[in-house]
Amino acid sequence: MAAFRFVTRGIAFIRIIILARLLVPAQFGVFGIATMALTLLEMLTETGINVFLVQEKGEIDEYVNDAWLISIVRGIIISTLIIISIPFVTSFFNIQQSKGLIYLISIVPFIKGFINPSEVKFQKNLQFNKEFYFRTSIFALDSSVAVIASLITHSAVGLVFGLIAGATLEIILSFVIIRPLPSFSFSLQKFMKIFHSGKWVTLYGVFDFVASQGDSITVGRVLGAGPLGIYQMGYTVATLPISEVSDVANRVIFPVYSKISEEINRLKRGFLKITLLVSAVSISVGLIIFFFPKDLFILIFGQKWEQTLVVLKPLAIYGAIRGISNTASSLFFSLGKQKYAAGATLVRVVVLVVSIIPLTLSFGLVGAGCSVLLSGISELLPIGYFIWVIFRKAKL
């Protein structure tokens, strides 16, 4: 998984350098708004299928058909809701000229709905070597199409074409190389079991969306698409400890924790080791971003991204904090304690909602960054309490 991140982020780094010089911040901002609408609807309709399948102790083949049917219906619903919401989104963010882009992005969830759910076996069975080739192929096609299409169109439409190409390839690969293949059948009993497990995952997803996208929504609404593009570029780089360290660890430790969830002492030792390792790496990456922001942006992305420097420092601290706290989510999910993850994230949401608008109106992009930082700090207390509840009777 670390190799996957290294390869894909290497590709992504090259892609973003090319696109940063082809497109202007406002175009990145418009694409960011479109993907926010997609992400919101994905969170609102999250069924928790993958979490349920990884948590299951036995074989999951009997659930594949129901999971596939649920996924297809969900994809159709998301695509329909995106199309219906276009007038509201374009009016709210004042981007009337971008309707075509949002129509195009509505195709993505429809395609993804047909992906074979059996691909979760890579993670459940710790077959990360196979997942490496699987995910790398998809990401490479996504990036290649995005760059080529952007070179041709000189617009953010190229980024959407990349998403469509990647989703299409994932369907093909999931049916060609993964077994069992799903078919159209439905069991109410199995559906209810998946739904019961997934309700807290859905709630956690909604809270996490607000906590992670509320700042972008506010910046886009209050300051406009141009500042949003600048802010999101800074956020992407500053949260490297989350996306490149914590996410890699969580992808691996969630199924591992699930397998040893009944051995509380062993689970505690593993959690402490992983948390210390992720903390060391996250803090190191955060310090580099904090102290050398100018080298990152002016040299690599060009002079037009100079305004990003003002927001990078608070976001760098936030990235390090979230990189560390994210390791707790895998622990909670592995034990079926999704409500703990949802509760901690709710605290982060409340602090963000209360502070984001006044700070953004008063201090612009810096205020938005500071609001996000406050929300990340506030989440540490409930996370610490829930970890204590889980391990209070365990021994090292």
Domain boundary among 155, 186, 217: 186
Domain assignment present for 12: yes
Do 5 and 89 have their domain in common?
yes
Do 326 and 182 have their domain in common?
no
Do 182 and 202 have their domain in common?
no
Q: Which domain holds residue 263?
A: 198-396
State how far the Cα of 150 lies from the Cα of 214, in Å rounded to an integer.
Answer: 28
**Residue burial 236-275, b: 16+ Cβ < 10 Å; e: rest:** bbbbbbbbbbbebbbbbbbbebbeebeeeeebbebbeebb
pLDDT digits (tens, 9 = 90+) for 321-349: 988 888 888 888 888 788 898 899 999 99
pLDDT at 237: 75
Entry pTM: 0.66
Domain assignment present for 192: no
pLDDT at 95: 67
pLDDT at 372: 92
Do 214 and 236 have their domain in common?
yes
pLDDT at 295: 64
pLDDT at 370: 93
- Crossing angle of helices 309-325 and 293-301, in 10° steps, is 110
pLDDT digits (tens, 9 = 90+) for 100-130: 778 888 888 899 889 888 888 777 777 777 8
Do 203 and 304 have their domain in common?
yes
Domain assignment present for 328: yes
State how far the Cα of 359 lies from the Cα of 274, in Å rounded to an integer.
Answer: 35
How many of the other CB atoms lie within 10 Å of CB of 104?
A: 17
